[in-house]
């Protein structure tokens, strides 16, 4: 694929990790949500480069063009190794959903590598949904993925993108197509029922209180209410946290409202 030719690869201790490296200036690292890849930020990368930032959009292990795991690993450790390899930090980490959790974990575990964080559609990495409708969607996603029925799983995946108050058909078909393409590429790297080598962090809330960097929480107003509430709590728990709501968007405000998301991001970066 032509995309792979645009990527750089970091030789980790468990296979190569892919990332796209563009621009120059202070380092901003973009971290995608689960099942997709660095292309989630096609609307953010050029805006950040034009504003004078070096932008690294990473493919998380097991996603996109990065290697699958063959031994236990933690997201934060992978990202810390990449940041040290780049030798350009401390960085501002910007993560959506799973990527937001990775940003938070890395800021907690490696504070010397991070000077600010933006968490969108995310909270602590050990967050669990309590809102009934969202829990139903998450359970159905797990069931269809485990069964190997990829088409059924994709429908649930796109339904989750829409949030608990809309159907997938209520969202932009172009966004659905982009997410579908990325998800199919990542899913093709895996087999149903394979071992999950990821080692989650636990007891993260007490450590959020120790974060001494600016943190911005961004949530779509149509996302799951329990996630929004948890993001608000995160903003009030971190020493320098604040939160904003993007109207008319759900779990991916960077896709549904890119201009507003970019404005929020650039304002945050300009205040550091």
Question: pLDDT by residue (tens digit) across 147-163?
Answer: 889 999 999 999 999 99
pLDDT computed for residue 35 by the predictor? 96
Percent of the chain with pLDDT over 90: 92
Cβ-count burial of 272 within 10 angstroms (0-12 exposed, 13-18 middle, 19+ buried)? exposed
The CATH code of domain 2-128+197-270 reads: 3.40.50.1820
pLDDT computed for residue 197 by the predictor? 97
pLDDT computed for residue 183 by the predictor? 96
Q: Which of 251, 231, 237, 236 is nearest to 123 (CA)?
A: 231
Contacts of 149 (CB under 8 A, 6+ apart): none
Tokens read off for 19? 């990332």
Distance CA 71, CA 92 (A): 28
- Confidence band of 257 (pLDDT split at 50, 70, 90): very high
Q: β-pairing, 15-22 with 114-120?
A: unpaired
Q: Averaged over 58-62, what is the pLDDT?
A: 98
Decide if 10 contacts 83 (C-beta within 8 A): no
Q: Tens digits of per-residue pLDDT, 196-246?
A: 999 999 889 999 999 999 999 999 999 999 999 999 999 999 999 999 999
Question: CA angle, 70 as apex, 67 and 72 as ends, to 5°?
Answer: 110
Task: Using a cut of 0.85, tell me whether the model's pTM lies above it.
Answer: yes
Domain ranges of the chain: 2-128+197-270
- The yes-or-no verdict on residue 4 having pLDDT over 80 is no
Distance CA 115, CA 144 (A): 39
Q: Averaged over 260-272, what is the pLDDT?
A: 98
**Cβ neighbour number for residue 26 with a 10 Å cutoff:** 18
pLDDT computed for residue 88 by the predictor? 87
Distance CA 225, CA 88 (A): 37
Distance CA 205, CA 56 (A): 28
- The yes-or-no verdict on residue 30 having pLDDT over 70 is yes
**What is the average pLDDT score of the chain?**
95
Q: Tens digits of per-residue pLDDT, 64-121?
A: 999 999 999 999 999 999 999 999 879 999 999 999 999 999 999 999 999 999 999 9
- The yes-or-no verdict on residue 137 having pLDDT over 70 is yes
Q: Which of 203, 184, 162 is nearest to 36 (CA)?
A: 184
- The yes-or-no verdict on residue 146 having pLDDT over 90 is no
pLDDT computed for residue 192 by the predictor? 82
- The yes-or-no verdict on residue 1 having pLDDT over 50 is no
Percent of the chain with pLDDT over 70: 98
């Amino acid at each position: 694929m032509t995309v792979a030719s645009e990527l750089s690869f970091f030789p980790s201790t468990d296979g190569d990790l892919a990332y796209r490296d563009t621009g120059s200036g202070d380092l901003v690292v973009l971290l995608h949500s689960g099942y997709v890849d660095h292309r989630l930020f096609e609307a953010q990368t050029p805006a950040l480069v034009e504003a004078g930032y070096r932008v690294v959009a990473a493919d998380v292990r097991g996603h996109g063009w990065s290697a699958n795991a063959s031994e236990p690993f933690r997201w934060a450790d992978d990202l810390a190794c990449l940041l040290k390899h780049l030798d350009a930090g401390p960085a501002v980490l910007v993560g959506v959903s799973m990527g937001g959790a990775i940003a938070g974990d890395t800021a907690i575990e490696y504070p010397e590598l991070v000077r600010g964080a933006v968490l969108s559609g995310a909270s602590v990495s050990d967050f669990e949904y309590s809102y009934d409708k969202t829990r139903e969607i998450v359970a159905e996603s797990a069931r269809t993925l485990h069964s190997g029925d990829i088409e059924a799983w994709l429908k649930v995946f796109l339904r989750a993108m829409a949030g608990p108050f809309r159907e997938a058909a209520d969202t932009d078909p172009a966004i659905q197509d982009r997410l579908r393409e990325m998800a199919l590429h990542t899913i093709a790297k895996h087999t149903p029922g394979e071992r999950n080598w990821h080692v989650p962090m636990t007891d993260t809330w007490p450590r959020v209180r120790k974060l001494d960097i600016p943190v911005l929480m961004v949530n779509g107003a149509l996302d799951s209410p329990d996630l929004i509430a948890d993001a608000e709590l995160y903003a009030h728990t971190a020493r320098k946290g604040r939160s904003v709501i993007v109207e008319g968007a759900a779990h991916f405000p960077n896709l549904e409202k890119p201009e507003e998301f970019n404005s929020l991001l650039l304002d945050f970066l300009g205040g550091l």
